[in-house]
């Protein structure tokens, strides 16, 4: 699917989700709509996880339709998601919760940015100039061990407590979501996924598949297929979004990334602007 976003650029995306080969339910949910792209991975007793992830993405759906989305609007929606997930009935002792990661296009001084959002260990990546970079930082026990220098990233991937998240929507006290600005750059590709992908497929293989499949839907399908081939031990959800050069007959322009050319980025790779929670990009 695609969204016309102005005279010069538009977004093209694809998404795929699968229950996997071991789980009886698919507790992942995703949102891929115009300018908002998120994946949520739910947890909790009975069907609470499924409801939690669906509730979280539904709380963000209005962002895809909003004309003036900024970080305050996004944070208000995240607060609402937290309250709604918190209110879900679940099995005693097993509160409903969900991760959430992804991007929404926001404008700052007429320049489009991805506002990268993360709570938990679903991930948002940027593929730029053939290089894959994880934009989000996992809120997980093993990530804390890596950052403390106690284990390597490779050891984290095999660690018995690798699935333990340190932040989730629905937990108490309320989690602090990360919000980062990253410039929207022509030809870049954003990947948002649940840990059912990254637990089965390493980054090198993810890059190969992203480069092998120019169409976002084909890329999303290929990534889910690779996770299934590797065992599919968890639910798998993948959203792929491309920043493409626009076509004249695309109507219905919405928020950003218009004025892309003014970002001064051209087609070159740009590093992320930094992890500046609550700060503007300028």
Backbone phi, then psi, for 224, in 5-degree steps? -60, -40
CB of 97 to Mn ion, least distance (A): 12
Q: How far is residue 9's CA from residue 156's CA, in Å, rounded to a whole number?
A: 38
Nearest to Mn ion of 195, 242 (CB atom):
195
22 SS3 class: coil
The sheet carrying 2-4 orders its strands as 2-4, 9-18, 236-245, 189-193, 123-128, 131-134
CB of 21 to Mn ion, least distance (A): 13
CB of 247 to Mn ion, least distance (A): 37
Nearest to Mn ion of 14, 196 (CB atom):
196
Q: How far is residue 186's CA from residue 10's CA, in Å, rounded to a whole number?
A: 9
Q: Which residue has the tokens 């979004």?
A: 241
What is the 3-class SS of 118-139, one letter each residue?
A: EECCCEEEEEECCEEEECCCCC
Q: Are 188 and 174 in contact (CB under 8 A)?
A: no
Nearest to Mn ion of 170, 196 (CB atom):
196
CB of 144 to Mn ion, least distance (A): 19
In Å, how far from its chain's centre is CA 86? 21
Q: How far is residue 256's CA from residue 88's CA, in Å, rounded to a whole number?
A: 34
247 SS3 class: coil
CB of 263 to Mn ion, least distance (A): 34
Nearest to Mn ion of 194, 259 (CB atom):
194
Nearest to Mn ion of 43, 117 (CB atom):
43
The residues that touch Mn ion, with contacts defined as CB under 5 A, are 41, 194-196, 234
CB of 195 to Mn ion, least distance (A): 4
Nearest to Mn ion of 200, 234 (CB atom):
234
Residues 6+ apart with CB under 8 A from 87: none
């Amino acid at each position: 699917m695609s969204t016309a976003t102005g005279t010069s650029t538009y977004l093209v995306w694809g998404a795929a989700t699968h229950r996997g080969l071991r789980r009886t339910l698919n507790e992942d949910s995703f949102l891929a709509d115009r300018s908002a792209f998120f994946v949520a991975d739910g947890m909790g007793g009975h069907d609470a996880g499924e409801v939690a992830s669906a509730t979280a993405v539904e709380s963000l759906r209005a962002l895809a339709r909003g004309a003036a989305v900024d970080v305050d609007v996004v944070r208000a929606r995240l607060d609402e998601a937290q309250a709604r997930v918190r209110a879900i009935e679940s099995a005693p002792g097993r509160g409903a919760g969900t991760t959430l990661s992804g991007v929404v296009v926001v404008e700052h001084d007429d320049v489009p940015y991805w506002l990268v959002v993360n709570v938990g260990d679903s991930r948002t990546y940027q593929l730029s100039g053939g290089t894959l970079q994880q934009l989000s930082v996992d809120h997980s026990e093993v990530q804390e061990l890596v950052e403390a220098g106690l284990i390597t990233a490779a050891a984290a991937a095999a660690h018995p407590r690798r699935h333990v998240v340190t932040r989730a929507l629905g937990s108490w006290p309320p989690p602090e979501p990360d919000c980062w600005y990253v410039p929207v750059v022509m030809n870049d590709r954003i990947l948002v996924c649940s840990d059912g992908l990254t637990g089965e497929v390493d980054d090198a293989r993810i890059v190969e598949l992203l480069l092998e499949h120019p169409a976002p839907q084909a890329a999303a399908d290929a990534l889910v297929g690779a996770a299934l081939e590797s065992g599919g031990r968890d639910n798998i959800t993948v959203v792929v979004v491309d920043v493409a050069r626009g076509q004249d007959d695309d109507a219905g322009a919405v928020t950003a990334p218009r004025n892309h050319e003014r970002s001064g980025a051209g087609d070159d790779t740009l590093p992320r602007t930094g992890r500046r929670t609550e700060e503007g990009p300028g």
